[in-house]
Amino acid sequence: MLSSPPVTRKDGILIMDSRHAIGAPQQHQGLLTVWNRLYKMGSLYLDLSLKRNESGAFLVGQVISAAQKPAAWRVTLHAPGYSRSSPINEYGNFRIQIPGKGGLELELTLENETFWVPGLDV
């Protein structure tokens, strides 16, 4: 009987944060209304944005890869007492609702690798 290879966990490397760019969005009551970040995750990139609308805050992302996206890619948002998953579509895109403030981590599962984005500010 064949077993699956073990899943490895790695932290994504932040390579760009719009909050540190010239002309970055202004803070409103101590919170940023939106931001954009780019992470390197192995041979992939994760383009991640915090967006807001009348129904609340959410993360919009795209996994950028030279290879074709397998069906098993998933993203999960973790917070204290909360966990919500979303599939990543054939174009590498996803959107996931944010429950509230504090303690947010994003988990990106790609076949045999798992990448984490800890400490998301909302």
- Alpha carbon of residue 115 to chain centroid: 9
CA-based Rg of the chain, rounded to a whole angstrom? 15
The answer to whether residue 43 sits within a structural domain is: yes
What is the per-residue pLDDT for 28?
47
What is the per-residue pLDDT for 106?
95
The answer to whether residue 84 sits within a structural domain is: yes
The answer to whether residue 74 sits within a structural domain is: yes
Residue 7: pLDDT band with limits 50, 70, 90: low
Pairwise pLDDT comparison (12 vs 19), residue with the higher score: 12
The answer to whether residue 44 sits within a structural domain is: yes
> Where in the sequence is the domain holding 86, given as residue range(s)?
8-120
Q: What is the mean pLDDT of residues 96-116?
A: 86
CB 77 within 8 A of CB 84: yes
What is the per-residue pLDDT for 66?
79
The answer to whether residue 2 sits within a structural domain is: no
Question: How many structural domains does the chain have?
Answer: 1
The answer to whether residue 29 sits within a structural domain is: yes
CB 46 within 8 A of CB 11: no
Interval 80-97: pLDDT, tens: 888 999 999 988 999 999
Residue 56: give its domain's CATH number. 2.60.40
The answer to whether residue 19 sits within a structural domain is: yes
The answer to whether residue 1 sits within a structural domain is: no
Interval 22-77: pLDDT, tens: 555 555 444 547 889 999 998 899 999 999 888 888 999 999 987 766 667 899 99
